[in-house]
Amino acid sequence: MACTAPKDSSAPPRNPPPRLYALDGLRFVAALLVVAYHYITLRDGWGKDPEAISSSVYHLSEYGWLGVEVFFLISGFVICMSGWGRSLGDFVTSRVSRLYPAYWVAVLLTAGVLTAFPEVRSVGSWQNILTNLTMLQEGVGVADLDDVYWTLFVELKFYLLFAIVIFRGVTYRRCVLFCGLWTVAGIFSLGSHNELLTSWAVSQYSPYFIAGIAFYLMHRFRPNALLWAIVAVSFLLAQHYVHGRLVTNLGAKADAVDEWPARLVILMAFVMMGAIALGFFDRLRWSWLATAGNLTYPLYLIHMYVGFTIISLLRHHVPAWLLFPVVTAFMLAISWIIHRCVERPIGRKLRHAMKRSMKEMRADSMDYGRPCPPARAEADIRPSTDRTERRKVHVP
């Protein structure tokens, strides 16, 4: 029997929970993977072999870069969910108020730490710092102040592409069409030698965003053969890029590292997202997972070079096996402060300010093109017979 698409409706056929705590937990695990990869596998802050912590832990951390892939998978799910039923202005407002407050603090904090303690990196010029505050530095050829920022530019490309769907109105059919077109664009970009297509297709990472969208459609409308096909193709394409991602993240060591653990982690991430989409974790209500999920973004933004600097300053005084968890815990504490003191209050104010701006813009667009009332010429003004009124409209 043919598989038919569910009707496009603002009311989903199933009743999903208001918050997916399992998604928060998966996001937090992905963040810890990235932190472990940076603190243990990379040598920047240690000044010696990171295997001093533990040889087994070191080799496990070599696959921590896969946390970024998990982030992209979750992002496809979350952005499709947050864009459903919203106008383009509401979507832009939610994204700007969500991303920028913590990011601004992270840029300034990282710049301050690297300026005060130039142990592992120089901040460069102040112009570079100011450009980094826009989050658009990669687009204008300015180096990221912190290497983790490259993923934000990939995310921004996804937001801009998906904004086309939101502008038209997010529906099941339009999401499926978006997934299909982006998949095709990613494939053709590889041999096209077209810089514009290659830049926007982001073929190494688009399979994760696309699969995330398909998983959300399963979550909202229940699964069908078409959505499983999108997930399967995305999974196979993600596997295709594993070797290249290993080389990017491990360099010359990539040939000495087994690929199967990376492929297994990707499989586990897809399985976990499938389980979340199908509702296997709907009854999970651990409030601490929500807190962990809230810490993920600021932790990701601040941990790398601030952490490297702390490790560099303390590595001769604190054993490596203790320094790693202590620095990680300190970064989590700073992330909590940023979330409570920056993301919540400033994000709320920024959101309200942008909503007012959007309302004013919509009101202005409604008035645009409406003819103004004709001005009355002075010659058309006739004196009134009433003496008082005659003084008001008298034309000399």
Quickly count: other Cβ atoms within 10 Å of residue 98's Cβ.
16
* 205 vs 134: CA distance, rounded Å: 23
pLDDT in tens, 208-241: 999 999 999 999 999 999 999 999 999 999 999 9
Comparing 61-75, 139-153, 188-202, 295-309, the range with the smallest average pLDDT is 188-202
* 187 vs 203: CA distance, rounded Å: 7
pLDDT score at 367: 56
CA distances from 83 to 122, 164, 169, 210, 314 (A): 39, 11, 9, 15, 45
- Residue 339 above 60 pLDDT? yes
* 77 vs 89: CA distance, rounded Å: 20
- Label residue 27 by pLDDT band (50, 70, 90): very high
The candidate with the shortest Cα–Cα distance to 120, out of 327, 315, 305, 326, is 305
pLDDT score at 48: 64
pLDDT in tens, 158-205: 999 999 999 999 999 999 999 999 999 999 998 888 889 999 999 999
103 burial via Cβ count (<10 Å: 0-12, 13-18, 19+): buried
pLDDT score at 374: 56
DSSP string, 238-296: HHHTHHHHHHHHHGGGGGGS-SHHHHHHHHHHHHHHHHHHTTTTTT---HHHHHHHHHH
**Cα torsion at 261, 267, 269, 273 (round to 10°)?**
-170
Question: Which comes out higher in pLDDT, residue 379 or 24?
Answer: 24
What is the token pair recorded at 190? 């590889």
- Label residue 383 by pLDDT band (50, 70, 90): very low
Average predicted confidence (pLDDT) for the chain: 87
pLDDT score at 98: 94
pLDDT in tens, 83-107: 999 999 999 999 999 999 999 999 9
pLDDT score at 2: 42
Place of tokens 């339009």: 174
- Label residue 382 by pLDDT band (50, 70, 90): very low
* 203 vs 184: CA distance, rounded Å: 10
